[in-house]
Structure 1
């Protein structure tokens, strides 16, 4: 995959002695977006080197990862298979913007129960998939493995060395691990999980090679996939002010958290903060569909 270096966009904030920038990883590719672009780089290279024709991966109904793998397969000549959590989704693909787009890119789906999905890493389960689909290259749920972390280690460049804080949303921990590994000792890397609990620390420790990091777990808004009117108002206002779209699952919560920490003087005077925009904007359509059904405020990041 050909990588372009993303640009840093300055954000105007009320605090006079703190500077805030966003690294626009979301602009790297329209569908293989942000950190998914990074995570797939070396995995696709390995799959091609090993002469695999098929990529197989796992995900939920609105997974950024599922769509990114489908798009990468179409662009780089792989057949793609998605093992989707939730058998009730079978036959409802046209109602789901993420799955419909992935199917348009040529991905074949197998819908399984949540109980079956918990066994997705078991050898017997994988053998059953080989019997069904033949030879394939497995990319784990969320895309995180050693090769994905290696790709994410390329997010920060030499021009980013003057930042004091690197802030990023956390899903499976691969992107944050890559940022930690390529950060400077003088930098603090902060991860903002969109889910409850502190279980991600162990996963991150299995890939991260430094200790200059922490998780800020106060901005999950009730858990994964949960949003509030306050969050949606923030996303809409942020777009009006800065013309930068944020998604409601990851980057919206991340930016809300960073701005709130600035407001409460978490960061020392004269801090330089870099926020990583990891993409995921395709998820807005699915969330808006749910919000519309509930007659709630929708996300508006279009001019």
Structure 2
């Protein structure tokens, strides 16, 4: 894994970006971190198949599929939405995963809610044989262990660590590895505050908080002002942002800085967790709406 160079993006020398998305072209950012020890465990258990869950444009589905190809595992993706069964070729994420060898099982949204239920898992085993189970979004104890490795000694000078929040694994790892003087701020991509309980299952400290004002309507929702921000950010700093996670986080950080949320001399580190593969799929939706594209 290459050494990542933190980028200073100015703003009174306060804000810096840690480019985790550059770890790997297809297993990037937090997905690399989450899969690292799960892949090791699957090998130790001599499992030949990885099974996991995700939606139509899931970064986790894409990364798991490629990891399976790279490390010679069969992969199965249980995909939310029966209507997608005949739309794989027109969906960039699913097409990539299929090309990596992933087998799909499409289920309706009600069935998908049972993804953690023992009976549902047993039915999947009856259908696909023995497998190593990776939860939706990749979050489990081993994933958190991997995310604890994001922060290095070079990051000790930062006062605030900011990250996107989906299933809570990445922020949990950051919470556990942060120094006593550091505050972890999570920017949820989902509407609502329910993720706090999931984070508390893995986080060992109370040095964190969630900023819930920048979800733009909920998971997968987007507004023209966010597209403009993402495109302007890339032009100015040469750093691409995705519209589901990192774009919303960075929009939020800039807004909070403008509102003087952070102390004047505070140093802020934003963790760029990847997710760039989702831009192509989002642009298809934006084109259908007649909105500007993400560049």
TM-score by length of 2: 0.99
Gaps of 5+ in 2: none
Identify the match of residue 19 of structure 1 among 10, 14, 22. Answer: 14
User: 1:151 matched to which residue of 2?
Assistant: 146
User: 1:70 matched to which residue of 2?
Assistant: 65
Determine if the alignment matches structure 1 residue 260 to structure 2 residue 255. Answer: yes
Runs of 4+ in 1 over 2 A off after TM superposition: 3-7
User: 1:182 matched to which residue of 2?
Assistant: 177
Determine if the alignment matches structure 1 residue 276 to structure 2 residue 274. Answer: no
Q: Deviations over 1:147-200 (max 9, x none)?
A: 000000000000000000000000000000000000001000000001211101
User: 1:294 matched to which residue of 2?
Assistant: 289
Structure 2: distance between partners of 1:216 and 1:294: 29
Query: Within 5 A, what are the aligned runs for 1:224-243?
Result: 224-243=219-238
Q: Deviations over 1:248-278 (max 9, x none)?
A: 0000000000011111100001110000000
User: 2:210 matched to which residue of 1?
Assistant: 215
SS at match of 1:166: strand
User: 1:37 matched to which residue of 2?
Assistant: 32
User: 2:80 matched to which residue of 1?
Assistant: 85
Q: Deviations over 1:41-80 (max 9, x none)?
A: 0000000011000000000000000000000000011000
For this pair of structures, how many residues does the alignment match?
Answer: 295
Identify the match of residue 202 of structure 1 among 197, 200, 203. Answer: 197
SS at match of 1:169: strand
Gaps of 5+ in 1: none
How far off its partner does 1:4 sit? 3.5
How far off its partner does 1:5 sit? 3.6
User: 2:101 matched to which residue of 1?
Assistant: 106
- CA RMSD of the aligned region, Å? 0.7
SS at match of 2:119: helix
Q: Deviations over 1:277-302 (max 9, x none)?
A: 000000000000000011111101xx
Structure 1: distance between partners of 2:217 and 2:197: 22
How far off its partner does 1:6 sit? 2.4
